Structure 1
Amino acid sequence: MAITGIVPQLRTTNMASSIRFYTEKLGFSVEFNYQDFYAGIRVGEQVFHLKLVDEKDPSITYVADGEHFHLYLKTDGVVAIAAQLRARDVPLVKDVHETAWNTREIVIHDDQGHTLYLGEQL
């Protein structure tokens, strides 16, 4: 078996708000938008999906309380990214920090409360 990619899916109760967050606040782009209930968000070579649902994602509190994540976005230049996010009024849940596993990371929440880590290898 050959796996050529993995596409995560996040739930949203407000598709327009989520698309605005990912495009205007994070600078990502819309890959596709299907009948206003399903969308693909592109960042570089990566894509993840958003699905419109009636109820808030039940994992949001669990993930936040346990310091887990919904998405881990590998990147470079975390310090500069943190500054860009602050300039776009995106609150940092956890500011730039280095980890015991040799990464530099920041943590944010999206418009729905999903926990996103942005990290770079040191």
Structure 2
Amino acid sequence: MANSESFSHSAVIFPVSNLENSIEFYTQKLGFEKTFEWGKPMYYAVVKKGGVGIHLTKRSDGGRPSKYHRALYIFVNDIEKVNKNCKDQNVRIVNDLEERDYKMRDFDIEDPDGFIITFGKGD
């Protein structure tokens, strides 16, 4: 098995129904920056904010995200600010900001395709 030092970073890849709508959601509502796009017409894009990268690809099947399992957990430094920004931008919050028994203060949002993303901060 490879030494863990050979690992650089990872990316989540979300298959989305409308790539332009997803890019707009992540850039306009959550403050990400589109850093890459591929295809003519475009069928793949990358949005980044800080150390978090989300790859978006045009969905080619009928798959739907889980309504129970989180697709991505993003650790943040200022949970109150992120929560306020999401509310100000009318982002769909599916679980309010709370202290959890697993020692995190977090909340969940849902993106336009139904992916549940959690923002959290530990002690």
Q: Is the 8 A contact 1:14 1:52 kept in 2?
A: yes
Instruction: Trace 1:11-90 onto structure 2 (pairs within 5 A).
Output: 11-35=15-39, 36-58=42-64, 60=65, 63-64=66-67, 66=68, 68-90=69-91
Q: Distance in 2 between matches of 1:39 and 1:18?
A: 10
Q: Displaced runs of 4+ in structure 1, greater than 2 A?
A: 54-58
Q: Distance in 1 between matches of 2:62 and 2:55?
A: 16
Structure showing greater radius of gyration is 2
SS for the counterpart of 1:93 is: strand
SS for the counterpart of 2:119 is: strand
Q: What is the CA RMSD across the aligned residues, in angstroms?
A: 1.2
SS for the counterpart of 2:28 is: helix
For this pair of structures, how many residues does the alignment match? 117
Q: What is the TM-score of this pair, normalised by structure 2?
A: 0.88
Structure 1 position 91, deviation (Å) = 2.2
Q: What is the TM-score of this pair, normalised by structure 1?
A: 0.89
Structure 1 position 4, deviation (Å) = 1.0
Structure 1 position 56, deviation (Å) = 4.4
Q: Distance in 1 between matches of 2:35 and 2:82?
A: 22
Q: Is the 8 A contact 2:52 2:74 kept in 1?
A: no
Please list every run of 5 or more consecutive structure 2 residues that lacks an aligned counterpart in the other structure. Answer: none
Which of 3, 7, 10 matches 1:3? 7
CA gap of 1:80–1:56, structure 2 versus 1, over 3 A, is farther
Q: Is the 8 A contact 1:9 1:48 kept in 2?
A: yes
Q: Which residue of 2 aligns with 1:98?
A: 99
